[in-house]
Amino acid sequence: MTTSQEEISDEIAKIQADSPRGAPLLDFAPYRSTTLRHPTKEPRHVDPEGAELLAPVFGHSDVAAIEADLTVQRGGEPIGERIRVHGRVLDGDGRPVRRQLVEVWQANAAGRYPHQGDQHPAPLDPNFTGVGRCLTDDDGWYSFTSIKPGPYPWRNHHNAWRPAHIHFSLFGTDFTQRLITQMYFPGDQLLALDPIAQSITDPAALARLIASYDHSRSEHEWLLGYRWDIVLTGSHATYLEPSDD
């Protein structure tokens, strides 16, 4: 891991200058692990019913309201800046996607995940799980209360830092229809240096992954509000990570 951020930034600039403004590049050299992670063979059709036999099921009674508030799940106060992220899940024609299961996971305020694979020297927060879920309502709205995640180091290159972000997972009518993406925060200077975000060579598509500050959803002396809509289809669709198949 001897590559510097300057070398990575030069690679990003060259690829973006030579690439058409279109779909994200699955094989993106500055994002080193794409050489191993992106599909190299044609997709193979499988029977989805086989997966359905083993997948979990849920109903309205199975998703509790408390699961959408990541600040109260452990019974103590987590450390960090409280935020509320809300928005609508829409189809390409602007129609709400109702009863959509939305899941989130994120690092804590220090940029640490409560996962054994995350061992960088930032403190864990015993009062923060970093995971939540909810169902969209009849108008397609979702809402989460959480702590603003911190940036964290990753081993793509020397002095590499991921910008603050929240992972989103959306399920369709069954558990074989899972879509995953990331939401970023406005004004983050690390976005321009991040190979994962910059693999999206269309600036408009990248901008659709950045939430906007929403003062109307901020609460006096309590939290800041952000809005982030998710569009599933159409020319203004939110970029969603390609499936592994």
Q: Is 5-36+61-115+122-231 in CATH node 3.40.50.2300?
A: no
Handedness of CA 195, 200, 206, 210 (dihedral sign): negative
Kindly give, in sequence order, each residue whose CB lies less than 8 Å from that of residue 75, ignoring residues fewer than 6 positions away: 127
Tell me the average pLDDT of the chain: 89
Distance CA(10)–CA(98), nearest Å, equals 43
Closest CA to 223 of 160, 146, 123, 136: 146
Calculate mean pLDDT across residues 173-190.
Answer: 86
Largest CA distance in the chain: 53
> What is the pLDDT at residue 245?
42
Domain boundaries, the chain: 5-36+61-115+122-231
**For residue 226, pLDDT beyond 80:** yes
Distance CA(233)–CA(111), nearest Å, equals 32
Closest CA to 159 of 120, 124, 186, 210: 120
Handedness of CA 195, 189, 131, 228 (dihedral sign): negative
**For residue 200, pLDDT beyond 60:** yes
Distance CA(167)–CA(144), nearest Å, equals 12
Q: How many other CB atoms sit within 10 Å of the CB of residue 141?
A: 15
Calculate mean pLDDT across residues 225-235.
Answer: 93
> What is the pLDDT at residue 75?
78
pLDDT digits (tens, 9 = 90+) for 1-10: 679 999 999 9
Q: What is the pTM of this model?
A: 0.90
Calculate mean pLDDT across residues 78-94.
Answer: 96
Kindly give, in sequence order, each residue whose CB lies less than 8 Å from that of residue 216, ignoring residues fewer than 6 positions away: 225
> What is the pLDDT at residue 176?
63
Active-site residue list: 113, 152, 162, 165, 167
Q: Are 243 and 172 in contact (CB under 8 A)?
A: no
Calculate mean pLDDT across residues 45-55.
Answer: 65
Least confident of 17-26, 84-93, 125-134, 225-234: 17-26
**For residue 196, pLDDT beyond 70:** yes
Block residue for tokens 């940036």: 151
> What is the pLDDT at residue 208?
96
> What is the pLDDT at residue 98?
93
Give DSSP secondary structure letters for the chain: ----HHHHHHHHHHHHHHS-SSSPPSS-TTSTTHHHHS--S------HHHHHHHS----GGGS-GGGGBTTSTTSSPPSS-EEEEEEEEE-TTS-B-TT-EEEEE---TTS--SSTT--SSS---TT---EEEEE--TT-EEEEEEEPPPPEE-TTSTT-EEPPEEEEEEE-SSTT-EEEEEEE-TT-TTGGG-HHHHT---HHHHHTTB-EE-GGG-BTTTBEEEE--EE-SSTTPPP-PPP--
pLDDT digits (tens, 9 = 90+) for 110-139: 999 998 899 999 999 999 999 999 999 999
> What is the pLDDT at residue 240?
81
